Chain A
Amino acid sequence: MTRLVYMDNHATTPVDPRVLEAMLPYFTEQFGNAASRNHAFGWAAEAAADRAREQIATLINAKAKEIIFTSGATESDNLALKGVVEFYKEKGNHIITVPTEHKAILDTCKALERKGLAQVTYLPIDEFGVVDPDDVRKAITDKTILISIMHANNEIGTVQPLHEIGKLAKEKGILFHTDATQGVGKLPVDVEAMGIDLMSFSGHKIYGPKGIGALYVRARNPRVRLSPQMDGGGHERGMRSGTLNVTGIVGLGKACELAGELMVSETERILRMREKLRKKITSALDEVYLNGHPIQRLPGNLNLSFAFVEGESLLMGLKDIAVSSGSACTSATLEPSYVLHALGIGDDLAHTSIRFGLGRFNTDEEVEYVSDRVIREVTRLRDMSPLYEMAKEGVDLKNFNWARD
């Protein structure tokens, strides 16, 4: 096999050809502005956006009018947090979240704290990245206005107990937001059963296009209000001004429809491939550690630490395979993964982590190829690793007197 293998589906996914096909007419023929109320071009665009709203709402058991289109999950997260904090400032200013959230949540929280607009509690998580709903309960104060806890983690795939947290939020009358960017379309999501009031997700993680996302905003029980973060023509029930990205919206709608139809069979197939990958690798190599929850995790996610082999050097050896690493060397900040850090995983193991993200278009043949290549490269790099040699000689690496610079 000489072609490239894409196994980084948490970063982004290719557009499904069926999604592209649905989008194409809206670039050239049905190009109208959905806000043009006085001619057929506008009506066609509005009808397409409304159909997409239905498709999306169906997937998450919401109502069409509760879907607010945005440019992506980052914007949805910003709108949810900043919009709630601003609108409900008379009620309180306290937000509860966890340290393993995506930066779109964490940095938004930091910005709100910096401006003095909110106080944020970052709850502890267990070694698998799971938050205890009881800790959420204990953190609630009379100032708490929002709980924001992600559905599934983008690095380690850990799925949070949303049902319990949603139930708790309802009991206490506190709004519950979830960043479900990695979960929607992969795992069943029911905003009613899960007690979700606000939910962020995007197109490009579910075989739709980039540049389109949505924020689910509950319309009743309770009716959630938001202060808009962009002023303009008052689109999207006044919550998000800006001409609708109709092609993107059509794509997101179709992607959600497909995800709903395929979810059961796709989950089964992807889970089987992931377990095959995991078993092949861990049966051939020693000192390989799973990061994240063993069961309560995204079907396509496998995050492994290959002790004594630095992640970037492993990626370099796997240059025809697209995966990602929690190593510092692959990040702009030169800090190893903050998610692994929050799990209590030492920086030594964080530097050796690789995230495999399996998706709709991966094949069994690719799984075979990737596992063989990983086993070969890890073996080669361990033969070159002083740490592996020292560990095999029985040196205590934790207490060795390292010459730190």
Chain B
Amino acid sequence: MSYSDKVLDHYENPRNVGSFAKDEPNVGTGIVGAPECGDVMKLQLKISEEGVIEDARFKTFGCGSAIASSSYVTELIKGKTIDEAYAIKNTHIVEELNLPPVKIHCSVLAEDAIKAAVSDWKQRKAGGREGEKKAV
């Protein structure tokens, strides 16, 4: 399998790798995928009171395209409102990274990770400490 230059660049120089402290109240965490499926993405978003994404971090277990998709998403999402983030479609990631058909699921996972992270933030914001058990 040959990779696009953009996938290679994100794989070799991933942006925003890492984790935020899990108990920070303004952090939303999304973990999607499963080890036996070969892909797990963890996306964390630092979101302001006004619902603007100020910072993002990711960690991904998966193929190069999965790593690139999540790395790209952390760049794409910074500065966006949660509504804008929620509207990001996987097809945008596919086009940006030139993912081949067999790798489309990587982009779907990245889209799911955004939605999971935003939902987690919303839940934590609404439920106070309740939501914390969801973050790892």
A, B from the same assembly = yes
Binding site for B on A (CB under 8 A): 308-310, 312-313, 316-317, 327-330, 334, 336, 346-348, 351, 383-390, 393, 395, 397, 402-405
Mark B106-121 against chain A: 1 for CB-CB distance below 8 A, else 0. 0011001000100000
Q: Which residues from B are CB-within-8-Å of A313?
A: 11, 62-64, 66-67
A115 to chain B, nearest CB (A): 32
CB distance A402 to B34 under 8 Å? yes
* Residues of chain B lying within 8 A (CB to CB) of residue A317: 11
CB closest residue in chain A, given B62: A310
Contacts A313-B11, A403-B112, A405-B108; A386 near B41 (Cβ below 8 A): yes
Residue of B nearest to A351 (CB): B38
Whether the Cβ atoms of A329 and B32 lie closer than 8 Å is: no
In the assembled complex, the CB of B111 is this many whole angstroms from the nearest CB of chain A, namely 11
Kindly state the separation between the CA atoms of A387 and B136 in the bound complex, as whole angstroms.
11
Contact-size category for B: 20 to 34
Asked if B37 lies at the interface with its beta carbon under 8 angstroms from chain A, I say: yes
Q: Are A403 and B33 in contact (CB under 8 A)?
A: yes
Q: A395-B136, A402-B34, A403-B33 are in contact. Are A385 and B112 (CB under 8 A)?
A: no
Interchain CB contact (< 8 A) of B40 among A316, A347, A386 = A386
- Given A348-B36, A395-B136, A316:B14 Cβ within 8 A: no
* Residue of B63, B102, B116 with highest tally of chain A CB at under 10 A: B63
A-B contact list, 15 entries, CB within 8 Å: A310-B66, A313-B66, A316-B64, A347-B37, A348-B36, A351-B36, A384-B17, A384-B60, A387-B35, A389-B19, A389-B59, A403-B32, A405-B105, A405-B108, A405-B112
Main SS of the interface on chain B? mixed
- Other-chain residue from A336, A385, A386, A390 in contact with B38 (beta carbon distance below 8 A): A336
* A385 contacts across to B, CB distance below 8 A: 59-61
Contacts of A329 in B (CB 8 A): 38, 63
With contacts A386-B42, A393-B136, A405-B108 taken as known, whether A346 is within 8 angstroms of B63 at the C-beta atoms is no
Q: Contact partner of B37 among A330, A390, A393, A404, CB < 8 A?
A: A404
Q: Are the C-beta atoms of A387 and B40 separated by less than 8 Å?
A: yes
Q: When the two chains form their complex, are residues A316 and B17 in contact, meaning their CB atoms are under 8 A apart?
A: no
Given A312-B64, A334-B102, also A328-B38 (CB < 8 A):
yes
Cβ-neighbour of A390 out of B67, B108, B136 (below 8 A): B136
4 further A-B contacts with Cβ under 8 Å, apart from A310-B63, A313-B11, A388-B61, are A312-B63, A383-B17, A385-B60, A385-B61
Does B39 sit within 8 A of A, measured CB to CB? yes
Q: Which 8 A-B pairs have the closest CB atoms?
A: A386-B42, A348-B35, A402-B34, A347-B36, A386-B59, A312-B63, A351-B38, A316-B64
The CA of A347 and the CA of B61, in the complex, are separated in Å by 14
Instruction: Enumerate chain B residues within 8 angstroms of A397, measured Cβ to Cβ.
Output: 35
Other-chain residue from B31, B37, B59 in contact with A384 (beta carbon distance below 8 A): B59
A309 contacts B33, CB within 8 Å? Answer: no
Nearest opposing residue in chain B for A390, CB measure? B136
Q: In the bound complex, what is the Cα–Cα distance between A228 and B108 (angstroms)? A: 51
B40-54 vs A, Cβ < 8 Å mask (1 yes, 0 no): 111000000000000
Give min CB distance, A336 to chain B, whole Å.
7
Q: How far is the CB of A55 from chain B (nearest CB, A)?
A: 39
Residue of B36, B61, B105 with highest tally of chain A CB at under 10 A: B61
B34 touches A404 (CB 8 A): yes
Within the complex, the shortest CB–CB distance from A96 to chain B, in Å, comes to 31
The A-contacting residues of B in range 69-83, CB under 8 angstroms, are none
- Distance, CA A328 to CA B62, complexed state (A): 11
Q: How far is the CA of A397 from the CA of B36 in the complex (A)?
A: 11
Establish whether residues A316 and B11, one from each chain, have CB atoms under 8 Å apart when the complex forms. yes
A346 vs B38: C-alpha distance when bound (angstroms): 11
A235 to chain B, nearest CB (A): 40
Do B35 and A402 have beta carbons less than 8 Å apart? yes
Contact B36–A386 (Cβ < 8 Å): no
- Residue of A at shortest CB range from B109? A405
Residues of A within 8 A of B60 (CB): 384-386
Instruction: Tell me whether B61 and A308 are in contact (CB under 8 A).
Output: yes
Interface centre among A312, A351, A386, A405 (most CB of B within 10 A): A386
What are the residues of chain A within 8 A of B37 when measuring CB–CB? 347, 404-405
- What is the bound-complex CA distance between A348 and B36, given in angstroms? 4
Residue of B nearest to A403 (CB): B32
Q: How far is the CB of A172 from chain B (nearest CB, A)?
A: 41
B39 → A minimal CB distance (Å): 7
A327 & B64 in contact (Cβ 8 Å cutoff): no
B45 to chain A: closest CB distance in Å? 15
Are A402 and B33 in contact, with the CB atoms below 8 A? yes
Q: How far is the CA of A11 from the CA of B11 in the complex (A)?
A: 27
In the complex, residue of chain A having the shortest beta-carbon distance to the beta carbon of B113: A403
Instruction: Give chain B residues whose Cβ lies under 8 Å from the Cβ of A393.
Output: 136
Check B136–A310 contact: CB distance below 8 A: no
Chain B's nearest CB lies how many Å from the CB of A291? 16
